[in-house]
């Protein structure tokens, strides 16, 4: 099977996107759309696996995530953005894939394991949640995605996808599914404002792409630095100091950052001064995104129309894949 490079990636619409999303995967999508055919999925079906009691939240965030995409420069003429639930073929393919995966294997997926613990599901985890990696394999393979830009935590999903691809092709003597490769961004993972390893919606430590200047300012002022750096004259630590981690990533002036680092370590540079610099840098970065987002938000029907057009295009590809799948599975009755 010739598998030309196609990018497929997506996000669960459970809240607006934050700087962690930006550094971890959004920024690479802006580059990838210049080089490849790219599909970006708003994964509402997957979002419902742990938010099935709160469908309004998922519904509202479909538009919010689309606004974030467009505001940061994902160009609908270059990338195809679509809504997962509007491609029923994904659900169909998931059902067939479920025959190829053991329950034991599902229980061993490390990301799902962590989530089950975090969410306190224990033994009462729903079938829907436990099998979402299989549905994710269908997301990727139904459009023959080969490149998947995602955060590190998604590596087990790609591994499981490729197991399913191999099992499917072997079981049905077919060669119709394409293996996928994760693309993990070069930039280091962005910690939350509390200095914890990961920025996350549910952790309350996120700076959103849609945050106002004041919100950014407040969040940076309360950012984790070096707890032992009490007086300005004291030498400070830059390792694990969140303000420095952000400056390394977002400050365009690397030379000045190197000087600040040296001064901070020597003593004589206060946290407030450093934080004020970071506030300016983040707001300079976010301001054009905010302006574009506000403009787009005035016409939600237009944004939804972009999603519907992308969905239509994606569905045609999905239907073609399903024809091949049904044929090798001998359920192509007419």
How distant is the alpha carbon of residue 235 from its chain centre? 37
Task: Tell me how far apart the alpha carbons of residues 303 and 312 are, in angstroms, rounded to a whole number.
Answer: 15
Q: What's the gap between Cα 218 and its chain centre?
A: 25
Which has the closest alpha carbon to 207: 220, 225, 221, 189?
A: 220
> What are the backbone dihedrals phi and psi of residue 87, each rounded to the nearest 5 degrees, phi first?
-115, 80
Using CB under 6 A as the binding rule, whether residue 160 contacts ligand TRP is answered as: no
Map residue 142 onto helix, strand or coil.
helix
- The CA distance from 288 to 169, in Å, is 47
**Both tokens assigned to 55:** 């469908």
Quick check: 42 binds ligand TRP (CB under 6 A)?
Answer: no
Q: How far apart are the C-alpha atoms of 187 and 165, rounded to whole Å?
A: 30
Site for ligand TRP in 260-319 (CB under 6 A): none
Residue from 72, 106, 150, 178 binding ligand TRP (CB under 6 A): 150
Among 62, 140, 206, 282, binds ligand TRP (CB under 6 A): 140
C-beta of 199 vs 216, nearer to ligand TRP: 199
Parallel, antiparallel, or unpaired: how do β-strands 6-11 and 181-183 relate?
unpaired
Min CB(252)–ligand TRP separation in Å: 28
**Under rule CB under 6 A, residue 191 binds ligand TRP:** no
Both tokens of residue 269?
A: 């540079």
Least distance (Å) from ligand TRP to the CB of residue 149?
8
Compute the distance between CA of residue 296 and CA of residue 69 in angstroms, rounded to an integer. 11
Residue 8 interacting with ligand TRP (CB under 6 A) = yes
Q: What is the 3-state secondary structure (H, E, C) of 177-209?
A: CCCCEEECCCCCCCCCCCCCCCCCHHHCCCCEC
Mark the segment that binds ligand TRP (CB under 6 A) among 72-80, 148-156, 214-222, 226-234: 148-156
Of 96 and 129, CB closest to ligand TRP: 129
Q: Binding-site residue total for ligand TRP (CB under 6 A)?
A: 14
β-pairing, 181-183 vs 79-83, is unpaired
**Binding to ligand TRP by residue 44, rule CB under 6 A?**
no
Q: Contact letters (x/-) for ligand TRP, 100-139, by CB under 6 A?
A: ------------------------------------x--x
From 6, 7, 9, 142, residue interacting with ligand TRP (rule: CB under 6 A): 9
Q: Does 190 bind ligand TRP (CB under 6 A)?
A: no
Cβ proximity to ligand TRP, 49 vs 245, nearer residue: 49
- When binding is defined by CB under 6 A, the residue of 19, 148, 190, 238 that contacts ligand TRP is 148
Closer of 46 and 85 to ligand TRP (Cβ): 46
Residues that bind ligand TRP (CB under 6 A): 8-12, 41, 43, 46, 136, 139-140, 148, 150, 154
């Amino acid at each position: 099977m010739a598998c030309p490079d196609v990018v497929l990636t997506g996000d669960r619409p459970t809240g607006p996107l934050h700087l962690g999303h930006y550094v971890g995967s959004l920024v690479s999508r802006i580059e990838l759309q210049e080089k490849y055919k790219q599909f970006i999925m708003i994964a509402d079906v997957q979002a419902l696996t742990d938010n099935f009691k709160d469908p309004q939240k998922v519904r509202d965030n479909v538009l919010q995530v689309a606004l974030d995409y467009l505001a940061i420069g994902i160009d609908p003429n270059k990338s195809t953005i679509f809504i997962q639930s509007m491609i029923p073929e994904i659900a169909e393919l998931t059902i067939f894939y479920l025959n190829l995966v053991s329950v034991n294997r599902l229980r061993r997926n490390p990301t799902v394991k962590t989530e089950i613990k975090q969410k306190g599901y224990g033994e009462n985890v729903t079938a829907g949640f436990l099998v979402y990696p299989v549905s994710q394999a269908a997301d990727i393979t139904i459009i023959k995605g080969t490149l998947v830009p995602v955060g590190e935590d998604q590596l087990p999903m790609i591994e499981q996808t490729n197991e399913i691809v191999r099992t499917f092709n072997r079981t049905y003597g077919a060669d119709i599914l394409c293996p996928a490769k994760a693309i993990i961004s070069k930039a280091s993972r962005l910690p939350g404002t509390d200095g914890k390893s990961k920025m996350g919606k549910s952790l309350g430590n996120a700076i959103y792409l849609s945050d106002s200047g004041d919100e950014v300012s407040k969040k940076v002022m309360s950012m984790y630095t070096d707890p032992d750096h009490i007086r300005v004259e004291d030498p400070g630590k830059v390792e694990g100091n969140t303000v420095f981690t952000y400056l390394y990533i977002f400050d365009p002036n690397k030379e000045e950052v190197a000087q600040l680092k040296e001064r901070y370590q020597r003593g004589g540079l206060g946290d407030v001064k450093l934080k004020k610099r970071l506030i300016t840098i983040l707001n300079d970065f976010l301001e054009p995104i905010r302006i574009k987002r506000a403009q787009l938000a005035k016409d939600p029907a237009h944004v939804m129309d972009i999603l519907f057009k992308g969905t239509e295009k994606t569905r045609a590809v999905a239907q073609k894949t399903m024809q091949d799948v049904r044929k090798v599975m001998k359920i192509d009755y007419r």
